[in-house]
Structure 1
Amino acid sequence: MKLAVLGAGAWGTALAIRFADRQAVTLWSREADQVALMQQERCNTRYLPNASFPDTLTVSHSMADAIAGAGLILIVTPMSGLRGTLKALAELGNTAPVLWACKGLEAGTMLLPHQVAEQEMPTHIARGMLSGPSFAQEVAKGLPAAVTIAASDAAFAQQVVNDLNTNILRLYASDDIIGVEIGAAVKNVMAIAAGVADGLNLGLNARAALLTRGLAEMARFCVALGGKPETMMGLAGIGDLMLTATGDLSRNRRVGLLLAQGLDLDGVLKNLGHVAEGVPTAREVLRQAEGLGIEMPITRSVCQVLFDNVAVSDIIAELMGRSPKMEAAV
C-alpha cells in the first residue's frame, strides 16, 4: 500500500520515515524550495537534519502526484491547516481513506478535527485520527513508541493498525475518536501549565498535583463532548499528557517555561519559532467549557496568563486558594 503524508514539518517527516519501513511513502510539502532541498539532501534539513530518508520515501510538491495511487492519506499539518488540506483533497476528487494527526480545536469554531472533516469530506470516505505520546525526533531516530489510531468505525481503525504497525512504532486501535481528539488537544494546555510550574521551581509535588487535576479536567471535557472517560487513561490521554508536560522536547512545555521567565505571549512565540498548538487551543477549550458549564480552572488560568496579562503569581494564589472539595476524577 502506498501512503501519502501531507505536511513536511517535524512530525509529518518523522511519520513518513517510520512508515516507509513497511510501504512506499510520498511526503508532500507546499513549499517548492523545501521539496527541492529534501530531494537533494535526502533528509529534512529544516526540522530533522539527522534523519536520513529511506529509499522507499519520495518527496513531492504536487499534492495530486503525492496522493495518486495512495491507499491511505495522512494529514500532518497544524490544526489551522486541516480544513484547507481537506478542501484541496476534495477538489482533487480524492476517494482514499484519510487520517489526521492535527491536535487542537479549530480557532474561531471550537470544532474538533473530525467535525471539520464532517464539513469538508464526502461521508463515504473512511477517516480517523493518529495521536499518542511521541516526539518527532525520537520516532525519526527509530526509538520505540506507541500511538493510537482512532475512528468511529472500529474495523477501519483496526485495518489501519494492521497496515501500518511496525516493530518500532506500535499502533493501537480505538473507536473513541472524540476522546482521542480531546486528549490530543487539552494535554497541550496542561503542558503549558506544567511548564509554568517547573519554570517557577514549584517542585515535583506541585507538578504531580497539577497534572492529576489537569487529567480530571481533560476527563470532564471528554465526557461532556461525548467521549469515553477511559480513553483519558490510555496513550492519547495520560500517556500524551505525561510526555508533553514533562519532556524537554515539548514545545507547549517550553511555552510555560518562557512564561515563567516573565515573557509575554508575543515574546514567547518569537522565542519559540515553532507552532505550539496549546496556545490557540487553550482559548477554544475554555470557550467551549464555559458554554457547557464545565469547570476547568487550570485551563482558565492558562488563558489568563496567555491572553489577559495576569501575573503568574496571582494565578497560583487563585488556584491554591480555591475552596476545598471532594476529589473526583471526572
Structure 2
Amino acid sequence: MDIRVAVIGAGSWGTTVAALAAANTPTIIWSRRAELAAQINDDHRNGDYLADYELPHALEATDDLELAVRGCDVLVMGVPSAGFRGALEEVAKHLRPWVPVISLTKGLEVGTRKRMSEIVTEVVPGHPVGVLTGPNLAKEVLAGHAAATVIAMDDHNVAVALSNLFRAPLFRVYTNEDVVGCELGGVLKNVVAIAAGMADGLGAGDNTRAAVITRGLSEISRLGIALGGEALTFSGLAGMGDLIATCISTQSRNRHVGERLGRGETIEEIIAAMNMVAEGVKTSLVVWELAHELGIDMPIVEEVKAVCHDGRSASEAYQGLLKRDSGHEQAGIRAGV
C-alpha cells in the first residue's frame, strides 16, 4: 500500500522535498496561494522560487489545507518558523492520529525559543516527530547533483522507514536519533552564515571565511551540547556539512543577507527586497538570548545580533571580533563541557 505524503509550504525547499517524495510515493503539496498550486499542477513548475526546474508530473498541489492533510500518512512541515505554530494549529484540525510529522524548518520560535519539533509535540501530541536537515541547496538537489541529508527521529526504525520516501539516485538520506543536535545544527548555522556573508561583503579573503566557519562551528557546538545535543552530531551533515554549504554558497539566503550588510545596506532594505525568508536574522536574537541565559560565550552570534537588531555596521562587528582575546581553541567543547 502506498504511503501518502503531504508537504505544507511551497517554498523552494518544501517544493524540492515534495518533488523527491513524488518520485517514490503519492505526494501532495499545499500552497497558500491558489495560483501557485495551479501552476504546479498545470505547468509543473514553481515560478516563484524554482522557475527553471521542471517538477514531477506526479506531484499534486492544492490550496485546500483539509484536502492536503486529511488523507496523508506522513506530514512534512515546510513553513518558516514565524508561521509554523499557526500553520500547524490549522493542520491539526484535519490530521489523523499517529501520523509522523517531519519538520524542514531551520529556526527557533521568537518568544518561546522553542525548536519546531517541540512545537509539534505541543500542538499535536502523540505524533512521531522528526526533522529532515543537512547541506541541501534546493536548486542543486532538483538539478540532480549528488547530495546527502539526515532524518532525525527518536525511533530509529521509523526514521529508516521514512528515509526511503525521500531517497533519489544521487540523494542519500542518513538517519540519526539526536533530534535536538540535528535540529539545532540547522538553526544555528544560519546565524554564522550571515557572519560569513558579511566577511565577503567587506572584501575579506578565504582565510577570514575559514576562520568564521570554524569558530562558528565551535559556537554552534557549545550551545548545541548545552541544550542537549550530542557533540558528534555537529561534526556531521546536520552540523559541519550544513554550515559549510550555507556559508559558501551564492544560493544561501543568509549568506546573501550578510554580504549585503557587508556592503553597507541596512537590514530593513535587504529584507524588503527578498521574496524568501532568511531565518538567521530573527534567530540571531533568540540564540543570543539563549547564550546569555546559559552563560555561553558566542561572540560571532553576538556581533550578528548587533548588526541585525541594534544598528551596528558590519565593519564595526568585525573590528569587535578582532579585539577579543583568544583562548583555548576547544574551550567549552572538550569532554562535552
State the TM-score, normalizing by the size of structure 1.
0.96
Q: 1:137 to 1:129 in 2, by over 3 A?
A: same
Taking the aligned partners of 1:58 and 1:179, their CA distance within structure 2 comes to: 33
Taking the aligned partners of 1:71 and 1:25, their CA distance within structure 2 comes to: 10
CA displacement at 1:324 relative to structure 2? 2.7
1:231 alignment partner, SS class: helix
State whether structure 2 residue 275 is matched by structure 1 residue 273: yes
State whether structure 2 residue 124 is matched by structure 1 residue 117: no
Taking the aligned partners of 2:202 and 2:192, their CA distance within structure 1 comes to: 16
Which 5+ residue runs of structure 2 have no aligned equivalent? none
Other-structure match for 1:108: 111
In structure 2, what residue type is equivalent to 1:157? A
CA displacement at 1:262 relative to structure 2? 0.7
Judge conservation of contact 1:2–1:25 (CA < 8 Å) in 2: yes
In structure 2, what residue type is equivalent to 1:9? G
Other-structure match for 2:225: 223
Judge conservation of contact 1:131–1:149 (CA < 8 Å) in 2: yes
Taking the aligned partners of 2:91 and 2:205, their CA distance within structure 1 comes to: 48
CA displacement at 1:47 relative to structure 2? 1.3
Pick the aligned partner of 2:319 from 317, 320, 325: 317
CA displacement at 1:53 relative to structure 2? 2.5
Q: Choose 314-323 or 7-16, whichever is displaced more.
A: 314-323
Which 5+ residue runs of structure 1 have no aligned equivalent? none
Taking the aligned partners of 1:173 and 1:76, their CA distance within structure 2 comes to: 19
Taking the aligned partners of 1:89 and 1:142, their CA distance within structure 2 comes to: 31
State whether structure 2 residue 60 is matched by structure 1 residue 26: no
In structure 2, what residue type is equivalent to 1:247? S
Q: What is the CA deviation profile of residues 207-238 of structure 1, one whole-angstrom value per residue up to 9, with x for unaligned ones?
A: 11111110000000111100101100011100
Other-structure match for 2:140: 138
CA displacement at 1:49 relative to structure 2? 1.4
In structure 2, what residue type is equivalent to 1:324? S
In structure 1, what residue type is equivalent to 2:328? M
Judge conservation of contact 1:18–1:142 (CA < 8 Å) in 2: no
Other-structure match for 2:176: 174
Judge conservation of contact 2:40–2:60 (CA < 8 Å) in 1: no
Judge conservation of contact 2:202–2:315 (CA < 8 Å) in 1: no
Q: Choose 186-195 or 89-98, whichever is displaced more.
A: 89-98
Taking the aligned partners of 1:143 and 1:149, their CA distance within structure 2 comes to: 19
CA displacement at 1:115 relative to structure 2? 1.4
2:51 alignment partner, SS class: strand
Taking the aligned partners of 1:27 and 1:7, their CA distance within structure 2 comes to: 7
Judge conservation of contact 1:15–1:139 (CA < 8 Å) in 2: no
Q: Choose 62-71 or 319-328, whichever is displaced more.
A: 62-71
Q: Choose 273-282 or 114-123, whichever is displaced more.
A: 114-123
State whether structure 2 residue 100 is matched by structure 1 residue 97: yes
Q: 1:163 to 1:314 in 2, by over 3 A?
A: closer
CA displacement at 1:176 relative to structure 2? 0.5
RMSD across aligned positions (CA): 1.4
In structure 1, what residue type is equivalent to 2:19? I
Judge conservation of contact 2:53–2:143 (CA < 8 Å) in 1: yes
Taking the aligned partners of 1:299 and 1:74, their CA distance within structure 2 comes to: 29
Runs of 4+ in 1 over 3 A off after TM superposition: none
Over the matched positions of the two proteins, sequence identity in percent amounts to 38
In structure 1, what residue type is equivalent to 2:43? E
